[in-house]
Chain A
C-alpha cells in the first residue's frame, strides 16, 4: 500500500507498532470475508447445476444421469460419459508445493532478520544456506509459480473435459473461487519478486525485515485460504 522505502518506525505511533503491519492485518481481515463469500457460494451451488460435468460424480450427457461410479452409467452411449472433474492427486501435489512455499517464506524472513548476525566460521553449508535470503525468496517464488502452473494445467484440462466457466453453476463458482485464489498467488509472486529485486540491488537487512514480514503475512494468508479450499472443495464430496 504505502511506500516500501524503509522509514519503518519513522513516525511516532501509539502502539509502537508499524502502521503498515497493522494495515496488512486489517486487509487480511477483510480478505477473510471475501473468501468466505466465495466459498459459501461454491458450497451453496454444489449439486445444484442442471447439467454436468460434476466435481466428484460421473455424468452422462445424453440422459443427464449422475452416478458415483462409472459403472452407474453403463447404459450411457460411448463418448457421452463425463468423468469426475476434480483431480485429487494433482491438486494434492500442488497443495503440498504451496505449503512448502510457506516454509521457504518464513526462512526467507528469518534470513533477512538475521542478516547482520555473524556466521560462525565453522558453519555448515546448510547453516549458511539458512542465512541466504535470496535463496529462500527464490524458492518461494518458484514454488508459487509452480502452484500457478499446476492451476493452469488443471484449468485447461477441465475445459478439455467439458467444464467451462459458462457450462454450469459448478463451473462458474469453481473457476471464480479458484481463479480469485490464483490471482492472489500471482500478486504474491510479483510482490516477492520485487523484494528479490531489492535484495539483489542493495541486499535486504533487518531494517527491511518489516517489509518482508508484511509480504510474508500476505503469502501465508493465501496459503491458509488454500488449506480451506483444498478440504472444502476438493476433498469433501
Chain B
C-alpha cells in the first residue's frame, strides 16, 4: 500500500553490491551508516537476549536458572549494550546516512574521521562484549558505582573490560560528534538556513552538542577509576577517604544528558515520519526546534535526580526536583505538536507511522512516571525498585526503540532501494506493542509493591510473582516479534519491492534523489527556498503558508561568484530545487570523491590493542607493555599516514 501514492519517477536501478574490502576501506557516509545499522542491530539482539535470560531467571520466585554472578553480568551488560552498543550507534547510523542527504551535502565534513568513529565503535563493542562468553563480563551495573568497582571490591578483570570499553566507545562518540556538528554547521546546501533544516537534523545537532559536552565528564570519571584500578591512585579508595559521591555526580552529569542523547534522535525521526504520513507540515516547527534545544540545555541541570536517596540535603533535593520537572514542559510541547501535526491531515498508517504514533503514546507514560520520581519524597519509595525499571524502559524502549523502528521502516527504501514488507511489519508492530506493554507495565506494580531492582532472586510470598510472570511472558513475545522484524529486514533487503525516489511522498531533500542514493548524493546541489523543498514541487498547497525566500538563489549566486568557483564549486554544481532520477557515476559527472582508505581502521585497532595492554599490567608486564607498544606504534604510524595524505 505504501507505493500507491508514490509518484514513481525513474526506472528503478538494481543497487550495486560491494565487497568486503570495499566495506573495510569505505569513507562513504551512506555505507558507514549501513555498517553502523547492521552492527548496532546485532548488538540490540544480543542485549535483548541477555534481557530475556534475565526474565527467564526472574519468571518464578527463588529461581535457580542462572547464578547470582551470571545475573549480575547479564544486567550490567544488558544495560551497557543497549545504551552504548545498540541505541547510540543506531542513532549514529541515521546521523551518518541522513544528515548529509537532508542538508544537501555530498558527504560529511571529515569522511575518514567518520570511518574511524565506526571502527572504534566496532572494536570497542567487541572488546567489552567478548568476556560474557567466559562469564568474565563486567558486573558492576551500568553506572558502576564506587567503591564497589575499585580493585578492593572487584578484584577480577570484569570491570577492567568495562572501564576500558566505555573509554574506547567514548572516543568513537566524540569523534563522530565533532564531525557531525561541523557537518551541520558547514555543509548545508545554499538556502538551507538553520530554520529550514529537517527536524531530524536539528535534533541530531542538539545531540552532537550533548555528546561534545557530556562525554568529557565520563571520560574523566573513568580515568580516575582506571588510574585507581591500574595505578593505585586513591580517587575512590575507602581508606584514603575517597568520596563515592564524586563518582556518582560525575557519572550523572554525563548520565542524564546521555538519556537525552538516546531519545532526541528518535524524536527527530518521528518528526520526519509524522508529517510525511499525515500529508501536513510539522506542526509548529520553530517551537519544535526550540523545545529540542531547551531539553538538551536543561538536561545539564538535573543530574542529581538520580541521587535523591544519598542524602544531599533538602536544598539540593529541591533545586534538582524543580529543574527536573521543568523539562516536562518542552517535552510536552513536542508531544502535543506531534499530535497536532496529524490533526486535520490525512493519515496513512504505514508501519513506520504506527511506530511513530506508538512512540507518542508510550513515551508519554514513561515521561509521566519520570515526573513521579522527580519529586524526592515520592522517589524515596521508588528509587532502585522495578518502578524505575518500568520508567526507563517506557522511555528507552517506548521512546528510543519505537522511534528507531519507525525510522528503519521509513528509511529502509532510501537505504537499500527496496521496500520493507508492510504485512510482516504490521505483525511486528502489533505483537511488539502488546508484548512491550505486557513486559514493562507490570514492573510499575512490582516496584511500588517493594521489589528492588538488580536482584537475581526474590522470595515467594512477597506479592511479586504474578507481575514477574507477566513480564517474562511479555519478554518472550518480544523475542518473537523481534525475530519477525529480523526476518523482514533480511527478506526485504534481498527481495523487497523496488523503491522509487520518494515512496512516502515526503517533503525533504533526501527524497529528491534515487534510492539508494548514488555515491555523490546530489549530481547538482539544490538551492533550497523553503522548509519543504520537495513539496514545493509536488504539493505546493501544503507549503503555501510556510515562508519562502529567495535566499536559496541569492546565496547560490553569491557562492557561484569568483570566490566559490575558486574553491572548486562551479555554477554547474548548483541548480534550482529539482528531482534527480538518473544515476551516473561520479567520474562521469566529474565530482571528486574521497579515496577509500584502510588507515582509520588500523588506527582504531591500534588504540584498542594499546588499551587492552592494561589488562595484563598486573599479571604479565612483558605482554602488557608489548601490547601497549605495538598498539601505540600502529596508531601513531597510521595517524601520521592519514594526516599526510589528502582526502581526495
Contact = CB atoms under 8 A, between A and B. Distances in A.
Contact flag (A, B; Cβ within 8 A): yes
A94 interface: no
A44 B250 CA distance: 12
A166 B234 contact: yes
A44 B246 contact: yes
A173 B185 contact: no
B216 A48 contact: no
A14 interface: yes
A171 B567 contact: no
Interface stretch (B140-148, B224-232, B353-361): B224-232
A61 B580 CA distance: 78
A217 interface: no
B241 A49 contact: yes
B525 A12 contact: yes
Contacts of B233: 165-166, 171-172, 176
B216 A14 contact: no
Interface stretch (B55-63, B174-182, B614-622): B174-182
A87 interface: no
Interface stretch (B72-80, B93-101, B108-116): B108-116
A49 B177 CA distance: 37
Contacts of B179: 23
A4 B240 contact: no
Contact of B241 (A5, A12, A30, A50): A50
A172 B241 contact: no
A171 B241 CA distance: 13
Interface in A177-219: none
B130 interface: no
Nearest to B221: A37
A4 B643 contact: yes
Contacts of B187: 11, 13-14, 19
A33 B188 CA distance: 28
A231 B199 CA distance: 44
B220 interface: yes
Contact of B647 (A3, A30, A171, A172): A3
A23 B241 CA distance: 40
Contacts of A14: 185-190, 192
Interface in B427-474: none
Contact of B110 (A17, A19, A49): A19
Contacts of A41: 220, 224, 235, 246, 250
A20 B110 CA distance: 9
How big is the A interface, by class?
35 or more
A166 B232 contact: yes
Given A34-B220, A41-B224, A50 B646 contact: no
Contacts, number: 148
Contacts of B4: none
B481 interface: no
A10 interface: yes
A50 B238 CA distance: 11
Contacts of B569: 11-12
B312 interface: no
Contacts of B642: 3
A49 B563 CA distance: 61
B219 interface: yes
Interface in B231-283: 231-235, 239-243, 246, 250, 253
Contacts of B340: none
A184 B263 CA distance: 34
Contacts of A5: 644-646
Nearest to B564: A12
A180 to B, nearest CB: 8
Nearest to B570: A12
B647 A2 contact: yes
A167 B220 CA distance: 20
B215 A30 contact: yes
A29 B178 CA distance: 10
Interface in B545-583: 559, 563-564, 566-569, 573
Contacts of B573: 12
Contact of B216 (A3, A19, A33): A33
Contacts of A4: 643-644
Nearest to B189: A14
Given A30-B174, A37-B217, A37-B250, A3 B645 contact: yes
Contact of A172 (B181, B227, B253, B559): B227
A45 B235 CA distance: 9
Interface in A65-101: none
A64 to B, nearest CB: 12
Contact of B220 (A13, A16, A37): A37
A168 B112 contact: no
B591 to A, nearest CB: 12
A227 interface: no
A107 interface: no
A90 to B, nearest CB: 24
B223 interface: yes
A161 interface: no
B298 interface: no
A167 B235 CA distance: 11
Contact of A22 (B112, B185, B241, B242): B185
A40 to B, nearest CB: 8
A23 B227 contact: no
Interface in A132-163: none
A34 B217 CA distance: 6
Contacts of A29: 212-213
A7 B646 contact: yes
Nearest to B192: A14
Contact of A12 (B212, B214, B217, B568): B568
Given A7-B648, A48-B241, 8 more contacts: A19-B109, A23-B179, A23-B182, A29-B212, A37-B217, A37-B250, A45-B246, A176-B227
18 contacts: A9-B567, A12-B568, A19-B182, A22-B181, A23-B179, A26-B177, A26-B212, A30-B178, A30-B212, A30-B213, A30-B215, A34-B217, A36-B217, A168-B241, A169-B240, A171-B233, A171-B234, A176-B224
Interface of B: 109-110, 112-113, 174, 177-179, 181-183, 185-190, 192, 212-217, 219-221, 223-224, 227, 231-235, 239-243, 246, 250, 253, 525, 559, 563-564, 566-569, 573, 642-648
| 10 shortest interchain CB distances as A-B pairs | A34-B216, A12-B569, A37-B220, A14-B188, A33-B216, A172-B233, A19-B109, A50-B241, A9-B567, A13-B186
Interface of A: 1-5, 7, 9-17, 19, 22-23, 26-27, 29-31, 33-34, 36-38, 41, 44-45, 48-50, 165-169, 171-173, 176
